[in-house]
């Protein structure tokens, strides 16, 4: 995408290119949060405020705030939480815990890091060009017809199941009943679910925001999340992973102990400055500001959804995630991407980049300045009217 965007800008040097492609935030971080970052930063230049290495698992006040804010009454405690430099980084650290001799299932389509980290770890077979898949990965097909939730009766048993809800790219949020089935499926098969809840605060309905809302999930699931899409921390870098004490390997050894060993070996802990920002995000004033930023992106989403609906397209997502999943039946995702870029100077993301199940779709990101989103939608209307 970056390569094609660069070539397009060379071809049309005067064009105003709008990027609604990668899921990078665009709006400023609220001042209640940046003031905490600045305060902690300046304190490092004083004898009293200086600190060096911190606990690799994260600072206690932040771990406690994450537990009380996101997992109140779910039986998740401060000690179950590992603070990190982001969910994406933790996904790869978890892969190191699992090693190369495990089998892996992913939603199809889904965030590419699950598959790519599996490939890097040597868990997969060769890339099968005809099927656009890697061997030895169980691709759980998620289609509009099945509500973008896999038919578990057709899914083979694997050691690890990567599951993202609300899903990137489809925007679909799994229901309580669906997640109950997923947890039971993992229990029946002795699998571990890695549940990515990076977009949970975008959920507008009563669907679960955490896998741990499902009874029994603590025995089969890990949850990873992030401040990136909540508070604009894509460059600040701060996230967390929850590994309950109840989660054990088949030999009875706690998964959290192995993850702790990896964290202490491969990581020196999240920046103390970014952790101060995270704590500010979870203060009453900070959490209100975070919800206002999320509300802004959700308004962008509504504008994009209304635009494609008005043009007669089948549109999915948008309600519970900052992504709009637009169907172009029978067309190549890359062809649609190229058509939109060439004729509107707007960058989107081809659905096939998220797995073979994404073919025939494009993902439009709601992360953008309001003026750019409105202008992009005007151009979409001009192209497809």
Domains and CATH numbers, the chain: 1-28+286-384 (3.90.1150.10), 60-282 (3.40.640.10)
Q: Which residues of the chain have pLDDT under 50?
A: none
User: Is the pTM of the predicted complex or chain greater than 0.85?
Assistant: yes
The whole-number pLDDT of residue 198 equals 98
> What does the H/E/C string look like for the chain?
CHHHHHHHHHHCCCCCCEECCCCCCCCCCCHHHHHHHHHHHHHCCCCCCCCCCCCCCCCHHHHHHHHHHHCCCCCCCHHHEEEECCHHHHHHHHHHHHCCCCCEEEEECCCHHHHHHHHHHCCCCCEECCCCEECCEEEEECCCCCCCCCCHHHCCCCCEEEEECCCCCCCCCCCHHHHHHHHHHHHHHCCEEEEECCCHHHCCCCCCCCHHHCCCHHHCEEEEEECHHHHCCCCCCCEEEECCCCCECCCCCEHHHHHHHHHHHHCCCCCHHHHHHHHHHCCHHHHHHHHHHHHHHHHHHHHHHHHHHHCCCCEEECCCCCEEEEECCCCCHHHHHHHHHHHHCEECEEHHHHCHHHCCEEEEECCCCHHHHHHHHHHHHHHHC
The reported pLDDT for the residue numbered 297 is 98
Percent with pLDDT over 90 in the chain: 99
pLDDT computed for residue 74 by the predictor: 98
């Amino acid at each position: 995408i970056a390569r094609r965007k660069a070539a397009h800008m060379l071809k049309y040097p005067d064009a105003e290119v709008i990027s609604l492609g990668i899921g990078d935030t665009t709006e400023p971080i609220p001042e209640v949060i940046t003031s905490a970052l600045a305060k902690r930063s300046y304190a490092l230049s004083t004898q009293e405020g200086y600190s060096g290495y911190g606990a690799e698992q994260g600072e206690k006040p932040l771990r406690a705030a994450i537990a009380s804010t996101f997992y109140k009454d779910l039986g998740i405690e401060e000690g179950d939480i590992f603070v990190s430099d982001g969910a994406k980084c933790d996904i790869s650290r978890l892969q190191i815990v699992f090693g190369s001799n495990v089998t892996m299932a992913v939603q199809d389509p889904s965030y590419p890091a699950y598959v790519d980290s599996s490939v890097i770890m040597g868990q997969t077979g060769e890339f099968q060009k005809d099927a656009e898949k890697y061997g030895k990965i169980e691709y759980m097909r998620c289609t509009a017809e099945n509500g973008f939730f896999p038919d578990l009766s057709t899914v083979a048993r694997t050691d690890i199941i990567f599951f993202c809800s609300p899903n990137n790219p489809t925007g679909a949020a799994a229901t309580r009943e669906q997640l109950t089935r997923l947890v039971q499926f993992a229990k029946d098969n002795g699998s571990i679910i890695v549940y990515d809840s990076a977009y949970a605060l975008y959920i507008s309905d009563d669907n679960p925001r955490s896998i741990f809302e499902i009874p029994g999930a603590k025995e089969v699931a890990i949850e990873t999340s992030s401040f990136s899409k909540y508070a604009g921390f894509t460059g600040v870098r701060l996230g967390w992973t929850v590994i309950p004490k109840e989660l054990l390997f088949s030999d009875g050894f706690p998964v959290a102990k192995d993850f702790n060993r990896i964290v202490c070996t491969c990581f020196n802990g999240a920046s103390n400055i970014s952790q101060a920002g995270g704590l500010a995000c979870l203060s009453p004033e900070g959490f209100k500001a975070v919800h206002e930023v999320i509300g802004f992106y959700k308004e962008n989403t509504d504008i994009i959804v209304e635009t494609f609906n008005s043009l007669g397209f089948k549109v999915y997502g948008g309600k519970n995630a900052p992504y709009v999943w637009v169907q172009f039946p029978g067309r190549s995702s890359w062809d649609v991407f190229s058509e939109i870029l060439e004729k509107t100077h707007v960058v989107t993301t081809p659905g096939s980049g998220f797995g073979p199940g994404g073919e025939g779709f494009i993902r439009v990101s709601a992360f953008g300045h309001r003026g750019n989103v409105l202008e992009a939608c005007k151009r979409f209307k001009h192209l497809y009217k």
